[in-house]
Structure 1
Amino acid sequence: MADNNPAGVDNTFRRKFDREEYLERAREREREEADGRSKSKAKGPPVQRKPLKHRDYVVDLESRLGKTQVVTPIAPLSQQAGYYCSVCECVVKDSANYLDHINGKKHQRALGMSMRVERASLDQVRERFELLKKRKVPGSFSEQDLDERIIKQQEEEEERRRQRREKKKEKKKEKAAVEEETEMDPDIAAMMGFGSFHSSKK
């Protein structure tokens, strides 16, 4: 039976590896690492990043809510539709993805922070609690404060209702006064030549 394949053609479709070549490459790599000239070290020392810290600004998600904006393809990124990140110079289309982006690894790296959180000591936690006790957050209140605020709000609502009633009474009085002024005494009207405004036709 004759072989249909020409001579020197490998028809097994399997890759053949030269073991000696790869062994030589491995030895060369080991020698470089031993000499301290590995490719990773040639790039320079690894970047030291700061641990994560809390944001010192409020994330604005609602300032452009419900507003209409004309978007053109030639507009700069900061004026396109969506949420613009000035650190990464990208536009994110909705608020959920924007929050994911600013809390994500890429954005934090661009800010120079790693994704690790610095472990706080017991003294730091105590200091933080003391600071928060001293700086009472406006709007925080106890149950007694809540009762006082409810009573105060009810009194204010009652005062507003009373003022509205008084305004209505004043308007009625003014309207009555205007009607009295417009009504003319019949004797004076007759002297001036005004008769009744009824039709003379019978």
Structure 2
Amino acid sequence: MAQSGDNAAGVDNTFRKKWNREEYLERAREREKQEEESRFSSKAKAPPIQRKPLKHRDYEVDLSSRLGKTQVVTPIAPLSQQAGYYCPVCECVVKDSANYLDHINGKKHQRALGMSMRVERASLQQVQERFEVLKKRKVTSSFSEQDLDERILKQQNEEEERRRQRRERKKEKKKEKAVEDDAEDADADIAAMMGFGGFRSSKK
């Protein structure tokens, strides 16, 4: 009986898996160490990206060149020939103009162009130069009194020409109406001579 008791004590009949805690703790430490090393090495390899500050566009956005035109859309056509607005920088198609403007002003598009969303801080000298440019533009675009008189005279002449053309058109319409009335009278006279009094019924 004692012998069978010894055998029962040596058999693992609990049906549970036994874990070696020390082995798994060692594995976890090694994995953490490797992750830290890879994190430090990736930071050391890739220097931080220095993006240029945001600048205004030096081109005009074309939103109206394809208005009113029909286009055959096929699923196998390249992106640039599909319906909508194509962005060659991001290689995508946007379906309407509002979303296209949102896209080209958005962060993803600006990053693809190599720009950050921050605007460069202007110096005092740049602001003063800009004011000078705007003053010169205002002086050159302002009209003198002589220019104003010439414009008023030109506008009056154009208005007089329009009135004259309207009068001529009215006269032509009156002439055409008179000719039509004469033709109708002649037709009525011919019909009367031939004995046609019109298409009225003979019953009274």
TM-score, with structure 2 as normaliser: 0.62
Question: d(CA) in 1 for partners of 2:114 and 2:71?
Answer: 33
Question: d(CA) in 2 for partners of 1:154 and 1:160?
Answer: 10
1:104 counterpart (103, 106, 114): 106
1:199 counterpart (186, 193, 197): 193
Q: How many angstroms does 1:67 deviate by?
A: 2.5
Identical positions, percent: 72
Question: d(CA) in 1 for partners of 2:109 and 2:140?
Answer: 32
| SS of equivalent residue, structure 1 residue 91 | strand
1:41 counterpart (24, 39, 44): 44
Structure 2 residue aligned with 1:130:
132
After superposition, the CA RMSD in angstroms is 4.4
**Alpha carbons of 1:163 and 1:32: their partners in 2 closer, same or farther (altered >3 Å)?**
closer
Q: How big is each residue's C-alpha offset from its partner over 1:27-84, in whole Å with a ceiling of 9 and x where there is no partner? A: 5566678xxx612323x33332211100011111122223322111111111111110
Structure 2 residue aligned with 1:6:
15
Question: d(CA) in 2 for partners of 1:22 and 1:102?
Answer: 47
Question: d(CA) in 2 for partners of 1:60 and 1:138?
Answer: 29
Question: d(CA) in 2 for partners of 1:9 and 1:30?
Answer: 30
Which of these two proteins has the greater Rg computed from alpha carbons?
A: 2
Question: d(CA) in 1 for partners of 2:194 and 2:37?
Answer: 128
2:92 counterpart (85, 90, 93): 90
Question: d(CA) in 2 for partners of 1:200 and 1:170?
Answer: 33
Matches within 5 A, 1:28-177: 38-42=41-45, 44-136=46-138, 156-157=158-159, 159-170=161-172, 172=174
> Which residue type is aligned with residue 52 of structure 1?
L
Question: Unaligned stretches of 5+ in structure 1?
Answer: 11-17, 181-195
> Which residue type is aligned with residue 131 of structure 2?
F
Structure 2 residue aligned with 1:188:
none
Number of aligned positions between the proteins: 172
| SS of equivalent residue, structure 2 residue 116 | strand
> Which residue type is aligned with residue 54 of structure 1?
H
TM-score, with structure 1 as normaliser: 0.63
Question: d(CA) in 2 for partners of 1:113 and 1:175?
Answer: 71
Question: d(CA) in 1 for partners of 2:168 and 2:63?
Answer: 43
Q: How many angstroms does 1:92 deviate by?
A: 0.7
Higher share in helix: 2
Q: How many angstroms does 1:106 deviate by?
A: 1.5
> Which residue type is aligned with residue 38 of structure 1?
S
Question: d(CA) in 2 for partners of 1:66 and 1:104?
Answer: 28
Structure 2 residue aligned with 1:191:
none
Question: d(CA) in 2 for partners of 1:89 and 1:29?
Answer: 36
